[in-house]
Amino acid sequence: MRIDAKGIHYRPLNKIIRIAAASGEKEFELDNVGGQRYIGTGLNDSIKITINGTPGNDLGAFMNGPKIIVNANAQDGIANTMNAGEIIVHGSVGDIIGYGMRGGKLYIKGDAGYRVGIHMKEYKKQVPIIIAGGTAGDFFGEYMAGGIMILLGLNGKSPLVGDYVGTGMHGGVIYIRGKVDPYHLGKEVSCLELGEEDMKLLGSYLKEYCEHFGFDFNEVVGGKFTKLVPLSHRPYGNLYVY
Amino acid sequence: MESQLPAEFVVNVDYEKCRRCKRCVMNCSFSAIEFKDKVTPNHRQCVACHRCATFCPESAITITENPLAYRYGYNWTPEIRKNILKQAESGGIILTGMGNPKPYPIYWDHMLIDACQVTNPSIDPLREPMELRTYLGAKPECLEFNSDSSLKTELAPQVKIDIPVVFAAMSYGAISLNAHKALAMAAKRMGTLMNTGEGGLHEDLAGYTDNIIVQVASGRFGVTSKYLNNSAIVEIKIGQGAKPGIGGHLPGEKVGEDISKTRMIPVGTDALSPAPHHDIYSIEDLSQLIYAIKEATDYKKPVSVKIAAVHNVAAIASGIVRAGADIVVIDGFRGGTGAAPMIIRDHVGIPVELALAAVDDRLRQEGIRNRASILVGGSIRQSADVVKAIALGADACIIGTASLIAMGCRVCQKCYTGNCAWGIATQKPELVRRLNPEVGADRLCNLLSAWGHEIQEVLGSLGINAIESLRGSRERLRGVGLGQETLDILGIKHAGIGQ
């Protein structure tokens, strides 16, 4: 199904998609998207949505299955509390990406804004992953409770990542391609060298990532990575007295 | 260093009466009673939960406050001295449970309800129909009809409740699954609602869709599109009366297999709810989440926003209504909690009576009161509080602590220990099974039925026959012992002043 989204408010646009998906439509191509919010929000079907243009906030919020391809930049709140599915953005994205994300993949070609992956968490086989090709702002992985975040810095911008990386982190793992000065890090994370297992894990995800965006896999994976993990799974366990 | 704190309570065993059946030993979940040739109390562990005294077949146990006198000091109260000793020993934040026990004024107890005499007849609720039903959700500005007299106006989703009392949000994790089941069963039977809190929805409660409010809090535990749709109402939790402005920490030791499944986090990890939703830093951001939920539920569920009563509550509530919420929940500073730092519970927030009056006033002044229902809680203790709240402007009340007391809670304030002897605020299987969900549900239904009858009696004496006729009818309230400023905030006259 091809929809010209020019001038359509998000409410009727998303309703068309919801109804069509419920009656079995599998592929959607949206042209002239200009800031419409909530595309893919709450959808459970295994459908594919291609977005030509810039979608608005909360793209794929509470999403549970669909695959979304954005052929432009995207805005704030992508993959908010997402449970499963895949979002591929051929551009940069705004703030609060992957808030409370519990599953699925979010691949971003360019930069990400502030507060990426806050309270991202994992549950059994549901391990969410966010990969951004450029840089990211402050509070990267704050309160992170699970999942994987990879920041590549391929565009050579500096600094690679903002302040308070992994503040309050109590689960999951962050890989940053390059060096992160300790003053950028939150108090609850520790910096480790990568082992063989890490490289295997990175390899599998980065291969897929590079295929989407046409990056040279060997060059990307050949960089020097920093691994960040939480110091404790219970950072605030000793704060209280009864 | 050995604790310098003396016991708070003394367990007195009458050995004349004691038959050494050891029932008290088995029932005590705080290790305060052992059996060493005879029933032997360990006073220091006693929290006055009354489990042993209740189950002693010989009534041989009494619990008294430890009469150990502290030298009198109006300023340095024994509690303050004990807290300093605890903190000097540990360096920790003092954690506590239940609601604020401090003697702040309770404004409900300074308001009196009107009644009819001679010139306008009262109504006998035993003989005449008396309506307690109300509808939660946004109401339209006006109604338009088509030529065939069918309704033209598109109505926002409405949720019918048969009694204006809804069970407050208490998560599975803070309370046991049996307590959750009892609340759900009672809500269904009584035509009202229970609230999952932020701990997700256990699969055993999936059949109670029409009687469940599901909560979306900052940790987003267990929140999926299925969860959002398996509800009557979706509630965004911004704040809680007992702990305004702070998050929640469910300690890892309480996250067992079942809780892990419901919250969708690994077994044994702390469930940390950040203080704010980090995707909500403004009214516009709140609106974005409200509409994300509406999109995810196809605009079929009212979306509620719960906030703690704080200084600027009226302006905040106005923003929430303008952001698109269908229901605003205001939780006063005496509201309960499973765990909160004592400093926050006892010193932060404002009384719900004043907050409610301020919010209702503000929404009326702005002409948007119809756009959202108002629910209030934060220590609604009796049906009289419900009547007064509705007369002040609420649509309905939420009850947390009162519902727990109905199920056996003795308000010992030890919810955060996970040792609840009554099977309510615990996840230990041997304690959870002490609460029979069926019995709990019966007791909750009895409580609501009793309150329903009492509210009907008051409505009858007021000469009205529907709870909706009372809403915002502040002329039917009078203040006693309140200063002019308080009366002005509450929008009521002092007792003794006629019309």
Q: Is the confidence at residue B106, as pLDDT, over 80?
A: yes
pLDDT tens for B70-84 read: 888 999 998 899 899
Is A121 in CB contact (< 8 Å) with chain B? yes
CB-CB under 8 Å, A238 with B94: no
Q: How many CA atoms lie within 13 A of A207 on its CB side?
A: 5
Strands A225-230 and A189-192: antiparallel
Identify which of B306, B284, B338, B321 has the alpha carbon closest to the alpha carbon of residue B216: B306
The predicted pLDDT at position A234 comes to 77
3-state secondary structure of B485: helix
Q: Is the confidence at residue B420, as pLDDT, over 90?
A: yes
pLDDT tens for B127-145 read: 999 999 999 999 999 999 9
pLDDT range class, residue B393, cuts 50, 70, 90: very high
ipTM of the complex: 0.95
**pTM value > 0.90:** yes
Mean pLDDT over each residue of chain B, to the nearest integer: 95
CB < 8 Å to A167, chain B: none
The predicted pLDDT at position B251 comes to 81
Is A236 in CB contact (< 8 Å) with chain B? yes
CB < 8 Å to B95, chain A: 240-242
How many angstroms separate the CA atoms of B263 and B200, rounded? 5
How many angstroms separate the CA atoms of B78 and B73, rounded? 8
How many angstroms separate the CA atoms of B286 and B292, rounded? 10
The predicted pLDDT at position B125 comes to 93
How many angstroms separate the CA atoms of B373 and B363, rounded? 11
Answer whether the bond into residue A55 is a cis peptide, omega within 30°: no
CB atoms inside a 10 Å sphere around CB B392:
29
pLDDT tens for B253-263 read: 888 899 999 99
pLDDT range class, residue B421, cuts 50, 70, 90: very high
The predicted pLDDT at position A214 comes to 96
CATH architecture of the domain B134-494 equals: Alpha-Beta Barrel (3.20)
Domain boundaries, chain B: 9-92, 134-494
Q: For B223, which of A14, A81, A170 is closest by C-beta distance?
A: A81
Q: How many helices (H) and strands (E) does chain A have?
A: 3, 12
Angle CA B488–B399–B163, to nearest 5:
90
3-state secondary structure of A75: coil
A 137-176 residues with CB < 8 A to B: 139, 142-143, 145-146, 168, 170-171
Q: Label residues A180-190 b or e (16+ Cβ within 10 Å = b).
A: beeebbbebbe
How many angstroms separate the CA atoms of A201 and A34, rounded? 36
Percent of chain B with pLDDT over 70: 99
A 60-99 residues with CB < 8 A to B: 61-64, 76-77, 80-81, 83, 96, 99
Selected from 3.50.50.60, 3.40.50.261, 3.20.20.70, 3.30.70.20, the CATH number assigned to the domain covering B9-92 reads 3.30.70.20
Q: Is the confidence at residue B333, as pLDDT, over 90?
A: yes
Which of A18, A47, A62 should one mutate to test binding to chain B, selecting the residue with the greatest count of B CBs within 10 A? A62
What's the distance, Cα to Cα, between the start and end of chain A in Å? Answer: 60
DSSP string, B30-63: SS-EEEESEEEE-GGG-----HHHHH-TT--EEE
pLDDT range class, residue B68, cuts 50, 70, 90: confident
Q: How many CA atoms lie within 13 A of B37 on its CB side?
A: 0
pLDDT tens for B198-254 read: 999 999 998 999 999 999 999 999 999 999 999 999 999 999 999 999 988 888 888
B36 Cβ contact partners less than 8 Å away, ≥ 6 residues apart: none
pLDDT range class, residue B2, cuts 50, 70, 90: low
> Residue holding tokens 């996970």?
B418
The predicted pLDDT at position B477 comes to 98
Backbone dihedral region for residue B147 (phi beyond 0: left; psi -120 to 50: alpha; all else: beta): alpha
CB < 8 Å to B92, chain A: 238-241
B338 Cβ contact partners less than 8 Å away, ≥ 6 residues apart: B97, B170, B171, B173, B174, B175, B415, B416, B425
The predicted pLDDT at position B71 comes to 87
Q: Per-residue pLDDT for chain A (242 aa), expressed as one digit of tens each?
A: 999 999 999 999 999 999 999 999 999 999 999 999 999 999 999 999 999 999 999 999 999 999 999 999 999 999 999 999 999 999 999 999 999 999 999 999 999 999 999 999 999 999 999 999 999 999 999 999 999 999 999 999 999 999 999 999 999 999 999 999 999 999 999 999 999 999 999 999 999 999 999 999 999 999 999 999 999 877 777 777 76
How many angstroms separate the CA atoms of B264 and A81, rounded? 12
CB < 8 Å to B264, chain A: 102, 121, 123, 126
Contact B188, B211 (CB under 8 A): yes
Q: Virtual CA dihedral for A236, A242, B4, B8, nearest 10 degrees?
A: 170
How many angstroms separate the CA atoms of A174 and A194, rounded? 11
pLDDT tens for B162-175 read: 999 999 999 999 99
CB < 8 Å to B279, chain A: 76-77, 80, 96, 99, 115, 118
In this structure, which amino acid lies at residue A146? G
Is the Cα dihedral B427, B432, B437, B441 positive or negative? negative
A120 Cβ contact partners less than 8 Å away, ≥ 6 residues apart: A98, A99, A100, A101, A102, A128, A130, A141, A144, A145, A146, A147, A149, A172
A 34-63 residues with CB < 8 A to B: 37-38, 41-44, 57-58, 61-63
DSSP state of B108: G
In the numeric block, which tokens belong to residue A23?
């009656």
Stretch B277-298: mean pLDDT: 97
| Environment class of A3 (CB within 10 Å of its CB; exposed 0-12, middle 13-18, buried 19+) | middle
DSSP string, B420-433: -TTSSS---HHHHT
The predicted pLDDT at position B1 comes to 52
